[in-house]
Amino acid sequence: MKIVMISDLHGNLEALTALPEEYDELWVLGDLVNYGPDPAEVVEFARARAGVIVRGNHDHAIGFGEDPRCPQPFREMAEAMMHYTNSVLSDSQKQFLRDLPLTAEREIEGMRFSLCHAIPSDPLFAYCLPDSDQWIKEVDRVNSDILLVGHTHRPFVRQIGTKKIVNPGSLGQPKTGSPAACYAIWSGGEIELRSFDYRFEDTIRKIDALPIPVHVRDGLAAVLRRGGLPKREEIE
């Protein structure tokens, strides 16, 4: 059994369709939409192929018309792209986002997995970095061997006692200092973090054609090219 785990797709169809893996199951840890130019196509891709999808803060924001609570450097970009995303998603696609569960549980080959977008105690919004002590409390909230999370766009694997926390990083808007798309695989009882190059300039060309302010387009393009904002602007 080979499971591919992806998170934070953010409407980036080029990254999603370039995923270089065959798999038995595809699991999505939230944020199908916003920031990227192809939210409808990404929703339909995930809808057709993913065995498990949990709701991210941007899925929730689009589905329910609420604030995604982004860090300040991304707030204007998120707001501008929410207007665009709302304009291109169908009512059915928005209902699909509303219906996504906040958490999910799976057992594969005797291994128990818990899935959420952020952290178990706050599945949508809490921003918890890899070395945070908060994870010690969070793993106690789940009855599983592996806790799968996303949201921070930063890949990591961390062992706490007998439990493992895995963040595959972001497929559609990496924040690793590299434009390479990030994901994880589970196969043969082992988790591995991986990344791959994709045609991000094609995504940027689509962004450049969107009806949003020029400085927002430039900001979104810079994030894709740099793998995040310049260090001086980042909020940890």
What's residue 198's pLDDT?
98
CA distance 173 to 226: 10
> Per-residue pLDDT tens for 121-141?
999 999 999 999 999 999 999
CA distance 127 to 119: 8
pTM of the model: 0.95
What's residue 233's pLDDT?
42
Residues of the chain with pLDDT under 70: 230-236
What's residue 190's pLDDT?
95
Residue type, 60: H
Please give the backbone phi and psi of residue 3, each rounded to the nearest 5 degrees, phi first. Answer: -115, 130
Please give the backbone phi and psi of residue 47, each rounded to the nearest 5 degrees, phi first. Answer: -60, -40
Say how many C-beta atoms besides its own lie within 10 A of residue 211's C-beta.
9
Cβ proximity of 159 and 180 under 8 Å? no
- At the top level of CATH, the class of 2-233 is alpha beta
